[in-house]
Each structure stands twice: as structure tokens, then as C-alpha cells.
Amino acid sequence: MAFNALFFNELFDIFSKQDGYQLAQTLSPDISTEKLRNICKSQNAHSIKGALKRGLNAPAVGLDHQELQGWVEVYAAYWSATGVMLAARESNSDSSRSSDLLWTKVYEAWTELLNVLLRGYQSWGFEAWTIPCLYVVCNHLRIFAMQADKERNNNSSFDDAAAALQDDFDPETNKRQKLEDCARVLSRVFMVCQTDRAPLEESRKWGSYYIANLLLKTYFKLNSASLSKNILNSLRAGGRDMPEFSAFPKSQRVTFKYHEGVLAFLEENYVLAEQCLTDALNLCHKDAMRNKELILTYLIPCHLIKSHTLPTEELLERFPRLQKLFLPLCQCIKRGELHKFDLALQEGEDEFVKRRIYLTLERGRDIALRNLLRKVFLARGFEAAKEGEKPARRTRVPVSEFAAAISLGSQEKIDNDEVECLLANMIYKGHMKGYISRQHGIVVLSKSGAFPGTNV
């Protein structure tokens, strides 16, 4: 591709069809190095705007004066960015240029392109059908920000110089400097979409969820998930003026519901988390296995806490990583093997902490303990009565028997006082129905449903 007659003919066709996604591809950096070189060589800094103005100022395009000026500025900024991108790509094989921070320059040039594009919507009258251009430019701004931060972090000489010049230099904070800047830029783009007051069919609000998803991904990458609440609140506040959620592309709805669910999960609002994550899973394309795996990473712990259900082995077999992660824990919970549960939790600790599900999974020990206590209950012949039979009359279990089972299951010696504390906690949490008679050293359990939720 180059800024020549062929390129302008393509634009004529795009503008006549009002094909926003095809127009967005003309601003994509996902092209070969050879094509980048052709774009750069097709014009120079002195001629680029004149060439663009002549090419775009045609009746077939139908742009008024303001729009024409706007698209000239956009493609001129894109041309400038391609030159920096070409230099960055060619520098990958040239170690002598490793200190040039070229991907930082790419990020800055791409930021300028986005700023010009935003002015197009705010001042030059760009129409809503061109919104996919924002998608492409914003998405790659985030990618370039991460590349720039990686380049900066790999350049130790730059970090040493910065530390020498700044008394308050914090290496940890500066590791994500460009991504943090990207978050601020994307937030501005989001507000440009959200605050549009044009009729819905012509509104920039149609870009809200795509940009919101990029922002949510960025906040999660920065470990600043709490900032995501501002995005959710803004979307809720503008709900009446927004198009129906179901009218947005399914891919955008899946991504949004996933992040909304994870945020609720981190706030321990497991009811909302389960609802959002289930919606995301149901909306997923049947072949989008990676997306399903990400959703299930949080939905499985949600089910464990909220309804005490575990994933089936059939489900886990379809996701080898999840099988490796969850199957050992699930088996221990089912069998009431406390010590093995602790070992399995310890084995997967790094991944659990990384995914921020460790503390939730740790609560699974209560379910494992409930299953162990139920085994003692059943061993004494107190199995639930079958249909038509009367429930058992005697449901008294000596605390000492529970103590022996817990000591064996946890491989630790536990006295009766500790066991009574554990049992009281289980009753309080609703895992057991009954009460403790300390005077007689027994636990009096309900005649029916002594262990609610015994579906795992």
C-alpha cells in the first residue's frame, strides 16, 4: 500500500459504501515491512498533506471542507507514524541502536495519530460509521505502550541514568509508564464516545463498549482493577441514553461481561460474579476455547463458594490447564482429604495467586471438612432416609469421633476444644445443621439434611 492513485480509488469505494471496518484497515499497522517502506517512500514530509488533499478532494468521496481537512491530518499523522515503525522494526536486528527507545517513539507517534483522529470526531464532523477507526488505533496504542515499556525495562543503561537524575525514581512504578499513559488516553476516548449527544443511529456511543473493554484490559494489566469501577458506573449512569446492550457485537458483550464478572469476583460479590461469568460463557463462540478457559478460571471457584458444586471431569478434560489446576483440589474436596487439599493448594499457589483466586479456593477447605464430617455421620448409620421412610431418630455423634477423623484427615493432632471450635464454625456457615452439647461432649445434628448442599 502507498498513498497513490490505487489507494485513493480504494478510499473512494470505502466512503461510497460507508464501510467503517474496511476504512479502519487503512489505518492499521499490521502490514509487512515492505508495505511500510512503500508508504514512507511514496511521499515526503513536504508533499504528504498536499498529495492527500488532492487525492481526497474528489466528488466521489463527497467530503465537505472540514471533513477533508480532518482526514488529510489523520493520514498525514499515519504516514509519520509508519516512518517511526519502520525504523523500530529494522532496529530489531541492529543491537547498536538498542538504546534509541524506538518503540517509545512509535508509541508517541501513534498517540499523535489518535489525538488527530479524536479531533476529527470533536471538531471536523467525522461520521459515526467511521468509529471502527478508533477501534484499530486504540487497540494498537495499547500494544505499542506495552512494547515501549518492555523496551524501556530492558534498557538498563536508561534506567540507571533516570535513577541518577531523579531522587524519587521508583523502578517498579516506571515499569508501566507508557501503559499508564495509555490508560489516560483511552479514558479520554471513552468519554468522547460516552458524551456524544447525537441521535443513537449517528452516535459515537456505539464505540463505548469496545473502548471500555480496552480500558478494562489495561487497568487489569496495571493491577488497578479498582479504577474499572469508574467505567462500569459511567456505563450504568448513561444506560438510558445508550443503545441496548444486546445490540452490540457479541464479541464486545463477552469481553465486557467477563471483566464485570471478574471485578465482582474480586469484591467477593459471588452472586453477581456467577451471573456475569455465566452470561459471558453462554455468549462465547463454541470454538473460542481460550476465552472459555479464562471465564471458567473464575466461574469454577464461584460455583464452589456459592452453590458448593465442582466441575465435572468431562468439563475439565476439555481444558488441560484447568484440569491441572483444579482437578487435584476437586478430588480432595470430594473425598474430604484435608491434608492432601492443603498440599494441592500449596502446589498451585503461584498460579492461584497470579489469577487472584487463591483466597476463594482456600475456602474450599470448609467443603472438604464438611464432606469428612459427613463420612463420620454416615459411618454411624445416619444416612438420609429413603423416600417413604422415617428419618433416623438418633443423630448424636461424639465430638471425639469427629476429632479422630479430623486429626486423621489433616495429619495433625487436634484436641476436642479445637474440634468444637471448628464444628461451631461449620454450623455458623451453614455447612452443618445442629448444635453442640459441650456438657455431654456430643454434636446433635438435624434429623434430616444434617449436611446441606452435599452435591460434591
The residue assigned the cell 488441560 is 320
- The answer to whether the CB of 141 falls within 8 A of the CB of 181 is no
Is the domain of 180 the same as that of 57?
Answer: yes
Residue 261's pLDDT is 95
Question: Same structural domain for residues 45 and 62?
Answer: yes
Name the average pLDDT for the chain: 86
Q: Are 68 and 190 members of one domain?
A: yes
Closest C-alpha to 106, from 118, 92, 96, 94:
92
Top mean pLDDT of 46-60, 217-231, 255-269 is at 255-269
Residue matched to cell numbers 465435572: 312
Half-sphere exposure of 346 (CA within 13 A, CB side): 6
Residues 65 and 146 in one domain: yes
Residue 400's alpha-carbon distances to 49, 106, 335, in angstroms, are: 87, 70, 21
- Confirm if 369 and 426 have CB atoms less than 8 A apart: yes
Tell whether 212 and 301 lie within a shared domain: no
- Does a structural domain hold residue 397? no
* Residue reference for cell 474430604: 336
- The average pLDDT across 66-95 equals 87
The whole-number pLDDT of residue 389 equals: 54
Burial of 177 from C-beta contacts in 10 A (0-12 / 13-18 / 19+): middle
Is residue 442 situated within a structural domain? Answer: no
In this structure, what C-alpha cell is assigned to residue 157?
543503561
Residue with cell 434430616: 448
Same-domain pairing of 141 and 265: no
Residue 396 bridge partners (DSSP): 444
| Mean predicted confidence (pLDDT) in 235-244 | 81
The model's confidence at residue 456, banded by pLDDT at 50, 70 and 90, is low
- Residues whose CB is less than 8 angstroms from the CB of residue 447 and which lie 6 or more positions away in sequence, other chains included: 391, 392, 393, 395
pTM: 0.85
How many other C-beta atoms lie within 10 A of the C-beta of residue 215? 24
- For the cut 80, the answer to whether the pLDDT of residue 322 exceeds it is yes
Grid coordinates of 428: 455458623
- pLDDT (tens digit, 9 = 90+) per residue, 150-171? 988 887 554 444 444 444 434 4
- Give ∠ CA 34-40-44 in degrees, rounded to 5: 160
pLDDT surpasses 70 at 95: no
| 282 within domain boundaries | yes
- In terms of domains, do 120 and 45 share one? yes
Three-state DSSP class for residue 434: strand
Do 288 and 341 lie in one domain? The reply is no
Is residue 383 included in any domain, yes or no?
no
Q: Is residue 33 part of a domain?
A: yes
Q: Return the pLDDT at 402.
A: 86
Please report whether residue 439 resides in a domain: no
Q: Which domain holds residue 360?
A: 320-370
Q: Is the dihedral of CA 152, 156, 157, 160 positive or negative?
A: positive
Residue 451 dihedral angles phi and psi, to the nearest 5°: -125, 85
User: Of 222-231, 251-260, 282-291, which range is least confident?
Assistant: 222-231
- Both 183 and 289 in a single domain? no
What local confidence, expressed as pLDDT, does residue 236 receive? 83
Domain count, the chain: 3
Amino acid in the structure at residue 26 = T
Domain finish residue from 332, 351, 370: 370
Q: Cα separations (Å) of 361 from 292, 344, 422, 435?
A: 19, 11, 18, 27
Mean pLDDT of 120-146: 94
Beginning with the edge strand found earlier in the chain, give each strand of the sheet holding 442-445 in spatial order. Answer: 396-398, 442-445, 434-437
Amino acid in the structure at residue 179 = L
- At residue 381, the pLDDT reads 66
Of 264, 280, 307, the residue that ends a domain is 307
CA of 242: how far to CAs of 206, 230, 350, 428, in Å?
8, 17, 41, 44
Round to whole Å and give the CA distance between 342 and 329. Answer: 9
- Encode pLDDT of 339-382 as tens digits: 999 999 999 999 999 999 999 999 999 999 988 888 888 877 66
132 contact partners, CB below 8 Å, separation of at least 6: 20, 21, 23, 24
Instruction: Return the SS3 of 75.
Output: helix
Asked whether residue 291 falls in the same domain as residue 326, the answer is no
**With 80 as the cut, is the pLDDT of residue 425 above it?**
yes
Confidence band of 1 (pLDDT split at 50, 70, 90): low
Per-residue pLDDT at 42 exceeds 70? yes
Is residue 97 situated within a structural domain? yes
Mean pLDDT of 410-417: 84
Q: How confident is the model at residue 319 (pLDDT cuts 50, 70, 90)?
A: very high
- Within a 10 A sphere around the Cβ of 148, how many other Cβ atoms? 25
Same domain for 212 and 272, yes or no, is no
What is the rounded average pLDDT of the residues 412-435? 87
Report which of residues 89 and 161 the model is more confident about: 89
pLDDT of 212 > 90? The answer is yes
Residue 341 lies in a domain: yes
pLDDT of residue 93: 57
Domain shared by 184 and 258, yes or no: no
For residue 208, the model assigns a pLDDT of: 93
Q: What is the mean pLDDT of residues 399-422?
A: 86
Task: Look at strands 396-398 and 442-445 and give their pairing.
Answer: antiparallel
Residues 375-402, mean pLDDT to the nearest whole number = 68
